[in-house]
Amino acid sequence: MASKLKLITGGTVVTASDTFAADVLIDGARIAALLTPGTGPADAERLDAKGCLVIPGGIDAHTHLDMPFGGTTSVDDFETGTIAAAHGGTTTIIDFAIQTKGTSLKLALDTWHAKAEGKAAIDYGFHMIATDVPPAALSEMADIVGEGVTSFKLFMAYPGVLLLDDQSIFRAMLRAGEIGALICMHAETGLPIDVLVERALAAGKTAPIYHALTRPEVAEATGTERAIALAEMADVPVYIVHLSAQRALERVMEARDRGLHVYAETCPQYLFLSEDDLRGTPDDPFEGAKYVCTPPLRPKHHHEHLWRGLRTYDLQVVSTDHCPFCMKGQKELGRDSFAKIPNGMPGIETRLHLLYEGVREGKLPLNRFVEITSTAPAKIFGLYPQKGTIAVGSDADVVIWDPEKRLTLDKENLHMRVDYAAYPGKTVIGAPRTVLSRGDVVVDQGKFLGQAGRGNFIRRRTFSR
């Protein structure tokens, strides 16, 4: 019988806290030992990591696979999306189940389980988007937590669709505090945004750039401040999703300086792309539709603030908000009105590559890179230490990361189903050589060796400060 032992040899193990030479022994689905190099059992299958870093598999805490939105559905489902994630070194995602207004949270959870089961190639969890929180839904929140879904996303934007009023948000926060759930907030003040959108369209301003110009930074800053204020009044932690801009970050920093339990994530698009991308090309301004996401891309000067926030721990996580729509048949729904362009961008596959550029450029220490892409989301979202580190007993979700491997982020080199590349022509240095999920090699030298359906639903623990 073949040995179920695997030994990753010759690499440098990097965790959120340490960097050291060790061989990693894997027994079945778990890490069994960290060994002095060259001392592992002879009968173990060897995986060569010479010259490479051995890091915990990435955890992407914000994805939208197979998600109905803006009259269409995000184009990666749980199969294509998780295979693309694995290619990029991500071994766990947390996606969002969405409550349909007037229906139960349980129905939403069942619907999302059905979307993922038999399809996901890596492990996954869910957050719950609550769009309607009458007393029945508030009491149902505890059942959802009991199902291992321990965080709820609430929206301050998209009136009539997703937006919750402050009283509903506050009630949901109080309830979350009682049951150990974490509230994740889409913090943009949505009602005035809709007025700006109406006025822009009435003035004939229909191009994608107006998506950014009608969702100003101040709308995000005030939303962030309000989310924090409500959480402070409810005495609960809050996690701000997809933070894009300096002033919103400053609200988070102030709150953290006052000792509040405020957490925030940003996304690669806010670190690498800008409002200029929304302007499209001189020939075709509609090319900017590729970059319509919410909050919108900001002017370039925001980048340095977000990088600083990551370095100084004011931002804890980089997730992708992967919500891909093709130009053909999807983004083009908004050719005559930016307000009809489905909001979202692809990114599930390229998060680690892009963040590693931050390491190469001296913007992030290597251990901080591991923390931001894996350990911190595992801790915040109740997955640690099963996920998020290289330690004895942890799941063997491991990436052998080749720091010199080059990849040009063109569409033909990537596996996301979307029909364009968000960073065409950009060459990154540093990429996965081998990716293991629970001890199985799922990607090796750019080849997918896993299977759709082998990913497990992961029940997450409740939030602890």
Dist CA 465 CA 238 (whole Å): 11
* Structure-token pair, residue 450: 């896993």
Contacts of ligand URP in 221-260 (CB under 6 A): 242
Contacts of ligand URP in 292-311 (CB under 6 A): 293-294
Q: Looking at 90, 214, 269, 343, which residue binds ligand URP (CB under 6 A)? A: 343
Q: Looking at 77, 321, 397, 402, which residue binds ligand URP (CB under 6 A)? A: 321
Dist CA 4 CA 88 (whole Å): 25
State the nearest-atom distance from the C-beta of 244 to ligand URP, in Å: 10
Residue 323 interacts with ligand URP (CB under 6 A): yes or no: yes
Q: Where are the alpha helices (DSSP H) in 71-189?
A: 78-87, 105-116, 135-146, 166-179
State the nearest-atom distance from the C-beta of 348 to ligand URP, in Å: 13
First-residue to last-residue Cα distance in the chain: 46
Distance of CA 268 to the CA centre of its chain: 9
State the nearest-atom distance from the C-beta of 407 to ligand URP, in Å: 25
Q: Which of 392, 396, 408 is nearest to 441 (CA)?
A: 396
Among ligand URP, Zn ion, none, partner that 288 touches (CB below 5 to 8 angstroms by kind): none
Q: Looking at 208, 268, 344, 358, which residue binds ligand URP (CB under 6 A)? A: 344
Please confirm whether the linkage preceding 365 is cis (ω < 30° from 0). no
Dist CA 188 CA 259 (whole Å): 23
* Structure-token pair, residue 99: 């409550």
Give the binding-site size for ligand URP (rule: CB under 6 A).
9
* Structure-token pair, residue 106: 């349980």
State the nearest-atom distance from the C-beta of 323 to ligand URP, in Å: 4
Distance of CA 122 to the CA centre of its chain: 14
Residue 79 interacts with ligand URP (CB under 6 A): yes or no: no
Which lies closer to ligand URP via its Cβ, residue 65 or residue 122? 65
Show the beta-strand stretches assigned E in 412-458.
427-437, 440-444, 447-448
Tallying the residues shown for the chain, one arrives at: 465
- Find the farthest-apart pair of alpha carbons in the chain and give their distance in angstroms, rounded: 73
State the nearest-atom distance from the C-beta of 110 to ligand URP, in Å: 21
State the nearest-atom distance from the C-beta of 188 to ligand URP, in Å: 9
Which lies closer to ligand URP via its Cβ, residue 270 or residue 384? 270
State the nearest-atom distance from the C-beta of 72 to ligand URP, in Å: 12
Q: Looking at 175, 186, 251, 290, which residue binds ligand URP (CB under 6 A)? A: 186
Q: Looking at 6, 186, 303, 433, which residue binds Zn ion (CB under 5 A)? A: 186
Q: Which of 69, 64, 129 is nearest to 341 (CA)?
A: 69
Dist CA 137 CA 264 (whole Å): 26
Closest residue by beta carbon to Zn ion: 186
Which lies closer to Zn ion via its Cβ, residue 349 or residue 395? 349
Dist CA 260 CA 218 (whole Å): 22
Residue 416 interacts with ligand URP (CB under 6 A): yes or no: no
Which lies closer to Zn ion via its Cβ, residue 186 or residue 353? 186
Residue 64 interacts with ligand URP (CB under 6 A): yes or no: yes
Residue 438 interacts with ligand URP (CB under 6 A): yes or no: no
State the nearest-atom distance from the C-beta of 242 to ligand URP, in Å: 6
Among ligand URP, Zn ion, none, partner that 343 touches (CB below 5 to 8 angstroms by kind): ligand URP
Q: Looking at 314, 321, 397, 402, which residue binds Zn ion (CB under 5 A)? A: 321
Q: Which of 127, 144, 147, 124 is nearest to 78 (CA)?
A: 124
Dist CA 350 CA 366 (whole Å): 17
Summarize as ranges the residues that interact with ligand URP (CB under 6 A): 64, 186, 242, 293-294, 321, 323, 343-344
